[in-house]
Structure 1
Amino acid sequence: MNPPGAGVGGWYARCVGALRRGWSLLLPIVLLTQVLPAVVLAVLALVIDPTARWEEQLADDSSALPSGFWADSLVWVGSLFGAGLIASLVQCVGWAAGTWVIARQAAGAPVDLGAAMRYGVRRALGLWGWTLLFGMIVLFGLCLCFLPGIYAVFALAMVGPVYLFERDNPIGRSHQMLRQRLGLLLGRLALVIGAVIAVSLVAAAIEQVGLLLIGTGPMETRTVTAGTVVVTVLAALLTLPGQLAQLVGLVVTYAEQRGHEGPVNDAQLAHELG
């Protein structure tokens, strides 16, 4: 963990150290639980997308809604919503498994992929519930003139680590951490969120270039072809560095905050995961 007073340089060094120690395990965890669900969800959206059929019907008669419009819309939105919930649960398995790997490696404890995934499965349901609540609070805040949602992102960013390490009042504890060390926590989180946004923008830009190369414009309806699937998979893979940065950055930031609150070491934090 980053000792108090080490500054951003010490925090960054700890993040790099955690990534160097754990990349061989974190990489497959992120691929299986973050990238793969994103690919499946994107391909499913293409498979069940009814807009191509709607465009054909509107070309024949633009004065009326396409036949089965409301039923198709309900199936489309409902399927994506249900699949999104399942994907987020799988992602929680990965966040928990990755946190377990980072904490135990920092303490010098043995780790392996199977044990990490088993831990992730045990903690996923509880983490999923708090993650959904976090998402609803942020969404509600974004609807209130946007800025409250941005504040909620920073105030509740520690919800996942707090739940995994402490399993008590993640919302309140995360907000308390922000209030106690506003500047320090904001700086760390801004770097993490900035890295995630930068990687996402690069991935999105490359995806749009790929679509243009296969003859699909950004405003055109996409259909399932070998080209669109390849571009979708590539775009998802390109988000992997951002996923790793988010996982490692949040865990190291949480450990640093615990160090500011009182005496704690890596072995104690690893033991708290259970």
Structure 2
Amino acid sequence: MPPADPRFDPADPLISADFAGWWRRGFAIIRRGWRVLALMQLCAIVPGLVLMIPSQLLADLAARDERDGGDSFGTGETVAATGALLVASVLMWLIYSVAALATARLVVTIATGAQVSFGQAVRAALPRVPALIGWTLLSGLIMLVALLACILPVIYVGAVFVVLPVVVLFERGNVITRCFKLFNHDLGAAVSRVGAIAGLGIGIGLAFVCVSCTWSGILWGSTFPDTSAVTSTGAVIANSLMGTVLSAVASLISGIVLTPLTVATYADLRARLEPFTTAHLPAA
């Protein structure tokens, strides 16, 4: 039986009463399980790179030719390259979706000290992928409407949907309504935790943007490179490869750091809404 007020149970590995407790629990999971989480991310990133590197490279070369009037790619080849990139992006997103759900499952396993099983985590994630696709598309439409309304509504809606993959994994039913209930029940706790996750995500993204800009500066040789050097086939290939790899590395780090904090956020908000402990999650 869960304690009378599980939100303040100091022994719970995910649920905490305040921001400091949430932060400690999230990073405790990262310290204990980063190798396991990284391995799960790599299982998605490696096939993702196999898909994305050639398709992104062809799309970049086609875009270069279209922009500069080259003759390597005709209209048909350009359309084919763009289509190949679109297909590869969709397949990569599906692979990443499985990995994201499986990683969230592993976070609970690490938090509770249970035996880690990659196969069990993936098997638990696979049946929820269709639901994740559907709810993600619906949430995307809602965010589009919010964006058309104003900037503040889309920020609010985006914050609400941060825990959507975890809700899809561990619950059934109307995911959209559930996300809003979890977020709005204790707005202060939700905003502080989601804001920290967003800040870390932005920080990771900016760090890799700086690396990418540094790489481009080294590759081009000066701050104002010659146009022919920038658009040469070698430069396009090097930039395309580096951009794809950096994006994959950023995704890996984000998966390791942000997923435990997101799962802890879901657990915190759910405990504030209803009687709930981390012990409920593995059986969900």
Task: Provide TM-score, normalisation by structure 2.
Answer: 0.80
Pairs within 5 Å for 1:140-219: 140-215=145-220
Matched, 1:255 2:267: yes
Distance in 2 (CA, whole Å) between partners of 1:222 and 1:158 is 43
Count of matched residue positions in the alignment of Structure 1 and Structure 2: 263
The answer to which of 30-39 and 144-153 deviates more is: 30-39
Displacement, 1:160? Answer: 1.1
Matched, 1:127 2:139: no
The residue type paired with residue 273 of structure 2 is E
Displacement, 1:239? Answer: 4.4
Distance in 1 (CA, whole Å) between partners of 2:232 and 2:124 is 38
Could you tell me whether the CA contact under 8 Å between 2:201 and 2:254 is conserved in 1?
yes
Displacement, 1:141? Answer: 2.6
- 1:63 aligned residue: none
Query: In 2 relative to 1, CA 234–83 (structure 1 residues): closer, same or farther, beyond 3 Å?
Result: closer
Distance in 2 (CA, whole Å) between partners of 1:168 and 1:162 is 10
Displacement, 1:190? Answer: 0.5
Deviation by residue 1:199-232 (Cα, 9 ceiling, x = unmatched): 0111012112112212286x95585535652454
Could you tell me whether the CA contact under 8 Å between 2:15 and 2:264 is conserved in 1?
no
| Partner-residue secondary structure (3-state), 2:162 | coil
| Partner-residue secondary structure (3-state), 1:264 | coil
Deviation by residue 1:215-274 (Cα, 9 ceiling, x = unmatched): 286x955855356524542453244322322211110100111221233222211111xx
Displacement, 1:47? Answer: 1.7
- 1:20 aligned residue: 31
Distance in 2 (CA, whole Å) between partners of 1:212 and 1:39 is 27
Pairs within 5 Å for 1:102-117: 102-117=107-122
| RMSD over equivalenced CA pairs, Å | 2.9
Could you tell me whether the CA contact under 8 Å between 2:189 and 2:269 is conserved in 1?
no
Could you tell me whether the CA contact under 8 Å between 2:14 and 2:111 is conserved in 1?
no
Matched, 1:100 2:105: yes
Distance in 1 (CA, whole Å) between partners of 2:47 and 2:119 is 18
Query: In 2 relative to 1, CA 159–234 (structure 1 residues): closer, same or farther, beyond 3 Å?
Result: closer
Could you tell me whether the CA contact under 8 Å between 1:38 and 1:236 is conserved in 2?
yes
Could you tell me whether the CA contact under 8 Å between 2:37 and 2:106 is conserved in 1?
yes
- 2:7 aligned residue: none
Structure number with higher relative contact order (C-alpha < 8 Å, ≥ 6 residues apart): 2
Deviation by residue 1:72-93 (Cα, 9 ceiling, x = unmatched): 5543443333222211111111
5+ residue gaps, structure 2: 1-12
Distance in 2 (CA, whole Å) between partners of 1:53 and 1:28 is 38
Percent identity, aligned pairs only? 29
Deviation by residue 1:173-212 (Cα, 9 ceiling, x = unmatched): 0011122111210110010011011101110121121122
Matched, 1:9 2:29: no
| Partner-residue secondary structure (3-state), 1:9 | helix
Matched, 1:225 2:230: no
